[in-house]
Amino acid sequence: MAVSTPGWRDRLRHSGVVLVIVAPGQGAQSPGFLTPWLEDPAFARRFEWLSTVAGLDLVHYGTRADADAIRATEVAQPLLVATGLVAALQLFPHPGDAFERIGAVAGHSVGEIGAAAGARVITAEQAMVLVRERGLAMSRAAAITPTGMTAVLGGDREEVLARIAEHDLTAANDNGPGQVVAAGTLEQLAAFQADAPTKARLVPLPVAGAFHTQHMEPAVAHLGALAGSVSTHDPRTRVISNRDGQVVHDGREVLRRIVGQIAHPVRWDLCLEAMEDLGVTGILEMPPAGTLTGIAKRALKGVETFALKTPDQLDDARDFCDKHGESAGLNLTPTWRMVVSPGKGTFHRSEQAAASTVLDAGAVVGDVASTRDRVSVTAAHGGQVVEWLVEDGDLVSPGQPLLRLHPEGAA
């Protein structure tokens, strides 16, 4: 019979320290940034393997290629993901140890693919195939119509968003206070430049197209067709989604969101809110680092950050992880499945779930209500109810386990 265990539930709530690992998106790369990393033979071997999987000479692009060459979408995206994945193995030589320290992972735009692989949703090889195809498909989509992106720095947030909408542009990246990226056709961006919001500085970005807008729909279709054949596993730690800042703990849903995100705005502001709700105390950014830790310093006052840029920082980075690391509490045993909260709010159990000892795949467990929205929670895989870890009406945090299930048919 299912029972509630308040003592265990209390231990699963975050305590004093929470470490979040983040992976940067396109634009973080710079000429030669990989040179010091490739001096390590182990890094070089692993990196060359992922380069082979991607079908690109990423060693060349990371060391000798110029800024224009590594700006190309089909090059930049595999280069960033491969770097993050191999650097993670340098940071955590025994990958299983990472999940005793990492409270959550998140990636900005293409960084989500690296974050998903780091959380064991997909393999490194699957990640490289997906990112290769993502880059190629987005490059092809960008060639259909002349489009671009412009960063809007400063200004009143409401006025900035209203002016973007007036010019039929999309707020493709909402990176937090004082940093929104508008995207659309070059004509729309030119008109927006001439009608800039008050006290805002507009900076055209050197990108090939309007990423994370409807202009990328052809790329979504291509990657979605490929993703249907990709096997996934549920993540070993919390994955914070760019789409809405929700914590996702179903592998298929993580992958589905990564595909859809190609043509959907990046809400990094909501990812930051989720980190704050988790009680984050430390954020470590994988190389080429600096962009996301810079945003975090402005948005999350009092949270320590570490930008891992070069291999001589690895010992200090490990100390940083030891200082802030604490398990997400999700990997309890391979025969259990957890249903977790997608965000912060009040949990309301559904009548069906409250009355059932066995839940079908996709059954509604309840919902989490916050001041912003009310999000339904489902048992993606179904199974026998082992125990509820929260009560109806409890306040919950992002990624907090709600219910423990035993898969039907498991030994």
Task: Give the pLDDT band of residue 328 (cuts 50, 70, 90).
Answer: low
Q: What is the pLDDT of residue 82?
A: 98
Domain boundary among 324, 354, 382: 324
**Could you tell me if residue 410 is inside a domain?**
no
Q: What is the pLDDT of residue 336?
A: 72
Do 223 and 125 fall into the same domain?
Answer: yes
Q: What stretches of 175-300 adopt beta strand conformation (E)?
A: 179-185, 200-204, 238-240, 247-248, 282-285
Do 239 and 301 fall into the same domain?
Answer: yes
The residues, ordered by sequence, that sit 6+ positions from 230 with a Cβ below 8 Å of its Cβ are 122, 126, 130, 255
Do 242 and 363 fall into the same domain?
Answer: no
Full strand arrangement of the beta sheet holding 179-185:
170-174, 179-185, 147-154, 200-204
Q: What is the pLDDT of residue 2?
A: 37
Q: Report pLDDT digits (tens) over 292-301.
A: 999 999 999 9
The catalytic position among 51, 108, 109, 249 is 109
Residue 153 belongs to domain spanning? 145-204
The CATH number of the domain holding residue 345 is 2.40.50.100
Q: Report pLDDT digits (tens) over 72-110.
A: 999 999 999 999 999 999 999 887 778 888 999 999 999
DSSP letter (8 states) at residue 34: T
Task: Give the pLDDT band of residue 176 (cuts 50, 70, 90).
Answer: confident
* Average confidence (pLDDT) over 342-365: 93
Do 262 and 298 fall into the same domain?
Answer: yes
Considering only residues 372 and 256, tell me which one the structure prediction assigns the higher pLDDT. Answer: 256
**Could you tell me if residue 411 is inside a domain?**
no
| Residues of the chain above pLDDT 90, percent | 83
Q: What's the domain count of the chain?
A: 3
Active site residue 212: yes
Active site residue 231: no
Do 292 and 237 fall into the same domain?
Answer: yes
Full strand arrangement of the beta sheet holding 238-240:
247-248, 238-240, 102-107, 19-23, 282-285, 304-307
Give the separation between CA 217 and CA 264, rounded to whole angstroms.
9
Q: What is the pLDDT of residue 394?
A: 95
Task: Give the pLDDT band of residue 327 (cuts 50, 70, 90).
Answer: low
The residues, ordered by sequence, that sit 6+ positions from 81 with a Cβ below 8 Å of its Cβ are 23, 110, 111, 113, 114, 117, 127, 128, 131
Q: What is the pLDDT of residue 329?
A: 60
The residues, ordered by sequence, that sit 6+ positions from 30 with a Cβ below 8 Å of its Cβ are 67, 70, 288
Do 258 and 115 fall into the same domain?
Answer: yes
**Could you tell me if residue 167 is inside a domain?**
yes
Do 293 and 376 fall into the same domain?
Answer: no
* Average confidence (pLDDT) over 229-247: 95
Domain boundary among 324, 358, 382: 324
Do 30 and 172 fall into the same domain?
Answer: no
Q: What is the pLDDT of residue 259?
A: 97
Q: What stretches of 24-146 adopt beta strand conformation (E)?
A: 102-107
Using DSSP, state whether 269 is helix, strand or coil.
helix
pLDDT exceeds 70 at position 7: no
pLDDT exceeds 60 at position 156: yes
pLDDT exceeds 70 at position 409: no
The residues, ordered by sequence, that sit 6+ positions from 37 with a Cβ below 8 Å of its Cβ are 43, 47, 62, 83, 86, 87, 90, 287, 310, 311
Do 149 and 180 fall into the same domain?
Answer: yes
Do 67 and 165 fall into the same domain?
Answer: no
Give the separation between CA 70 and CA 56, rounded to whole angstroms.
12
Do 314 and 260 fall into the same domain?
Answer: yes
Q: Would you tell me how many other CB atoms lie within 10 Å of the CB of residue 361?
A: 12
The catalytic position among 212, 215, 264, 324 is 212
**Could you tell me if residue 385 is inside a domain?**
yes
* Average confidence (pLDDT) over 191-204: 95
Average pLDDT along the chain: 91
The CATH number of the domain holding residue 188 is 3.30.70.250
- How would you label 320-333 residue by residue, b for 16+ Cβ within 10 Å and e otherwise? bbeebbbbbbbbee
Do 260 and 316 fall into the same domain?
Answer: yes
Q: What is the pLDDT of residue 256?
A: 97
Domain boundary among 289, 324, 359: 324
Considering only residues 333 and 54, tell me which one the structure prediction assigns the higher pLDDT. Answer: 54
